Amino acid sequence: MRNSNSIFKIVTVVALLALIAGWAVPSARAAEGPLPPVNLRCEYLQNPVGIDVRQPRFAWVLRHTERGQMQSAYQVLVASRPELLARDKGDAWDSGKTASDDSTQVVYGGKPLESDHSYWWKVRYWDKDGNASEYSRPASFDVGLLARSEWKGQWIGGANLLRQEVTLNSPVVRARAYVTALGYYELRINGEKIGGNELDPAWTTYPVRVLYSAYDITTHLRAGKNAFGAMLGGGWALLGAGGPAPYNQPALLLQVNIELADGKTVQVVSDNSWKVTAGPIVSDSVWDGEVYDARRELPGWDSPGFDDSAWSAAQILEGSKGTLSAQMMPPIQDVDSMVPVALTHPQPGVYVYDLGQNFSGWVDLHVTGPRGTQVQLRFAELLYDTGMINRENIRGAKSRDIYILRGDGEESYHPRFTYHGFRYVEVTGYPGTPSLDSVRGHVVHTAVKTTGSFVASKPLLNQIHKVIRWSDLTNLMSVPTDCDQRNERQGWMGDAQTSAEGMMLNFDMAAFYTNFVRDIRDVQDPDGTITDTVPHRYGSRPADPAWGTAFPLICWYLYQQNGDRRILEENYDGLKKYVEFLHSRAPDNVLRYSYYGDWVAIEETPGAEVSDFYYYYDTLLLSQMAAVLGNSADAATYTQLARQIKDAFNHEFFDAKTGNYANGTQTANALSLFLDLAPKDARGRVAGNLTNDILYAHDTHVTTGFIGIRYLMPALTQLGDSHLAYDLAVQTTFPSWGYMLANGATTLWELWQNKTGPSMNSHDHHMMGSVDAWFYEALGGINVDPEHPGYRHIRIEPQVVRDLTSVSATVGTVRGQVTSAWTHEPGAITLQVDVPVNSTATVSIPKDEEMTAITVHEGDRTVWDKGHFVDGTPGVTAGKFAAGRVVFEVGSGHYAWRVTGE
Ligand code: BGC
């Protein structure tokens, strides 16, 4: 009895897992053929509220019970009311049956969308045999305010607490709040915080563009009196970072559009009828933290009926004259809580909490004590041997919060308008003895969804992957920052570009980077120059070429990963101007100017070589973008220019005698190999120099900085030497990722060296984490096909190396989940692959080096035997043997390969 019960449980669990994974498990009323599309997205977002794109793009994920399936046509319905959609009426857009295999980047083609309106949509598809699916479940999108003239409010300020009351004469049918601030805001209605956004709005070049958030507040309002409240903080708008602060006081801009049941509409806007006063936040700063005096709280201030007669009238401020754009990316949110793992008491009155993980965010403090007691929280990444916190590496950032008690029982507090990068919290001034529960960590960053996973049989690789994920996430603060703890936290473009691909494989980054690319455009001058940091606070204009390359590279990665042509269309002119600017600085086709080059390297490489490499790379990408956009004249011009740069690069940096580039560092040679710059007959020598340097001069260690490491690993794989790249990846002595981990790193360091003093040595930088892309692409074997971007065609090509016995990788692509999971035991290699419906793949499986005659099975069928492809397996259309690997062409579906041999 017990047995059959547990078998039943296992079967149920397997079935459930399979369902979750989206595999076809026929239910009682077995659905056969094309299943309704799922995961409907509009401008990369699920059911977005407040988009300001006039022709948004749709995407969906297809499912089918058969292998080798494609979409031959789709029908999208967009309706202005859900009832219409339920009756299959698309009054805004009915695409009709449209013959197309596009299931992503489908551009809205209906009636002009209206501001401040909601739309509902669904989609069905026809498979390659002409069978139609059912319609998907409905999804929705809300259009925000499309024109500046629709904003009726003004920028207001005067103090950091603002309120307004409004009486509504009938129940509310629909209400949307559009809100932004110079600085940060928290919007409150009838005593409650609205939405889960933190540190909102996103950081932008405020004089050029400010982003607004939209909230559906229908259920927060009621007939009768309603109170609107806003708390304001300074954020980046009031922080003098790398120059004077752009503004001297925070400002709010708000508009609420309400539709009432009686058919009337009411608008609430920020203007001088709002009342303001100073609230409990005494001071706030991104770097320095918050001082909060709970004695100054005004209970009920954000509820109707509060007596605000002592408050002043809001001041009208100039605010920003920039464009108001919808914030179309995941907001910063409090995404997780962290329970301290230890509490110590290194000195009288000093308590130190260890959260067990370095991260970005804040803590919740729980305290009971006399009125006016000041509790100070100071944040640090490091400890001294004494157990006291070491804050030398956070430089001038005060990074502390001070809470002053009301004294009326149990109190709890977390800051609103700051964040810290930390693992340790020092608490002083605590009344009584704090317990482990007195402090709870909160992880705060841009709330991108995790879409990828990577697990290998080698625990160290999994640990490195985990630490990289933490470093990536904790540096997503509406822009990709370099670090999260010291008085910096800037959008350094070099860091951004090296990590971008890895981040895209791990997380749903499309909307985030689409926004960041616009941020880059916003700093571009008419002469084409862009800046080292975006928004531009630190560093130079023009950017170091290894930093400026973030503009073309991130656009290109977005195109490759998502098939996003629009990102190329929208940025082409800017990118061309940028390349033309580089060209103007390279009269002899060599771009030499450089500030940082292969930053934080063990062995330095001449900056000119790094800059010139990127000049070539950017020009090459521009020529490819021109080709994608059908601009054949530009494609030819820039292909030609790239060729000239390549020749000049070799002339300037290649030494035919030694077979080395520049000074022969690993970076110098790896760069040339990665883009295949070396003359054909010299490639082998350059490669030999590189591997000799790694193996013999440095005992299998890297000497690169963060630019070099981005290309060293894939260059070794291109050379067929993934074994050596793997040896570097699992190295544990200095310098290596393993060395960081062995020394307690829970996020990546800025330097390979273990430094804890006052010099530049953040313990949470993501830039060395570019190796994660290599984990997915080389070890996992999941690669986009540059000719068929957006995973329309996928290259599955895992590298089975050394003592690794298994790797399992998944990437949540725009078209659905791609999996590649292999095992290796003597005499057998297995590989499980998932290819989404409407995609095809080339699956390349290595044979065990020992094997001679091999046989390949897929499931229980033989697909390769006695040197020949065996036809007849559903979904598998061709097979061949090349360069030690068996290579199959497949359509969509789940495959289980097994290669055995003698
Ligand atoms: C940052 C780096 C950045 C660099 C530019 C540093 O202060 O933390 O990550 O790219 O400056 O050289």
816-831 pLDDT, tens digit per residue, is 999 999 999 999 999 9
The whole model's pTM is what?
0.96
By DSSP bridging, strand 374-380 and strand 332-338 are: unpaired
Per-residue pLDDT, 850: 78
Q: Name the residue at shortest CA distance from atom 9 of ligand 1.
A: 482
756-806 pLDDT, tens digit per residue, is 999 899 999 999 999 999 999 999 999 999 999 999 999 999 999 999 999
721-734 pLDDT, tens digit per residue, is 999 999 999 999 99
> CB count, 10 Å around CB of 135?
18
Where does residue 26 rank: exposed (0-12), middle (13-18), buried (19+ CB within 10 A)?
Answer: exposed
The label of the residue with tokens 């500046």 reads 148
Confidence of residue 7 (pLDDT cuts 50, 70, 90): very low
Non-local CB neighbours of 625 within 8 Å, separated by 6+ positions: 552, 555, 556, 559, 568, 572, 575
What percentage of the chain exceeds 70 in pLDDT?
Answer: 97
Pocket test for ligand 1, best of 475, 482, 595, 752 (most atoms within 8 A of CB): 482
- Answer whether residue 95 shows pLDDT above 80: yes
DSSP-derived letter for residue 538 is S
Confidence of residue 28 (pLDDT cuts 50, 70, 90): very low
Confidence of residue 327 (pLDDT cuts 50, 70, 90): very high
Indicate if ligand 1 lies below 6 Å from the C-beta of 749.
no
Mean pLDDT, the chain, integer: 96
Indicate if ligand 1 lies below 6 Å from the C-beta of 461.
no
- Answer whether residue 24 shows pLDDT above 60: no
Per-residue pLDDT, 852: 81
Pocket test for ligand 1, best of 492, 537, 540 (most atoms within 8 A of CB): 492
Q: Name the residue at shortest CA distance from atom 1 of ligand 1.
A: 482
Using an 8 Å Cβ cutoff, are 215 and 194 in contact?
yes
Q: Which numbered atom of ligand 1 lies nearest the CA of 494?
A: 10
- Answer whether residue 4 shows pLDDT above 80: no
Per-residue pLDDT, 17: 45
Indicate if ligand 1 lies below 6 Å from the C-beta of 157.
no
Indicate if ligand 1 lies below 6 Å from the C-beta of 724.
no
- Residue 338 alpha carbon to ligand 1 centre in Å: 29
Indicate if ligand 1 lies below 6 Å from the C-beta of 705.
no
**809: β partners:** 454, 820
- Residue 475 alpha carbon to ligand 1 centre in Å: 13
Per-residue pLDDT, 481: 98
Name which of 17-26, 174-183, 324-333 the model is least confident about. Answer: 17-26
What are the Cα distances from residue 771, in Å, to 464, 501, 502, 798, 807? 9, 10, 8, 15, 15
Indicate if ligand 1 lies below 6 Å from the C-beta of 483.
yes
- Answer whether residue 282 shows pLDDT above 90: yes
Indicate if ligand 1 lies below 6 Å from the C-beta of 494.
yes
Name which of 231-235, 712-716, 882-886 the model is least confident about. Answer: 882-886
Confidence of residue 633 (pLDDT cuts 50, 70, 90): very high
Average pLDDT over residues 556-573: 98
- Answer whether residue 6 shows pLDDT above 50: no
- Answer whether residue 270 shows pLDDT above 60: yes
- Residue 489 alpha carbon to ligand 1 centre in Å: 10
Per-residue pLDDT, 851: 81
Per-residue pLDDT, 721: 97
Q: Which numbered atom of ligand 1 lies nearest the CA of 539?
A: 5
Pocket test for ligand 1, best of 596, 598, 762, 766 (most atoms within 8 A of CB): 596
- Residue 492 alpha carbon to ligand 1 centre in Å: 6
- Answer whether residue 468 shows pLDDT above 50: yes
Using an 8 Å Cβ cutoff, are 359 and 443 in contact?
yes
Average pLDDT over residues 96-107: 98
3-state secondary structure 359-378: EEEEEEEEECCCCCCEEEEE
Indicate if ligand 1 lies below 6 Å from the C-beta of 495.
yes
Per-residue pLDDT, 15: 41
Confidence of residue 16 (pLDDT cuts 50, 70, 90): very low
Confidence of residue 552 (pLDDT cuts 50, 70, 90): very high
Average pLDDT over residues 440-459: 98
347-377 pLDDT, tens digit per residue, is 999 999 999 999 999 999 999 999 999 999 9
What percentage of the chain exceeds 90 in pLDDT?
Answer: 95
Indicate if ligand 1 lies below 6 Å from the C-beta of 492.
yes
Indicate if ligand 1 lies below 6 Å from the C-beta of 596.
yes
Q: Which numbered atom of ligand 1 lies nearest the CA of 495?
A: 10
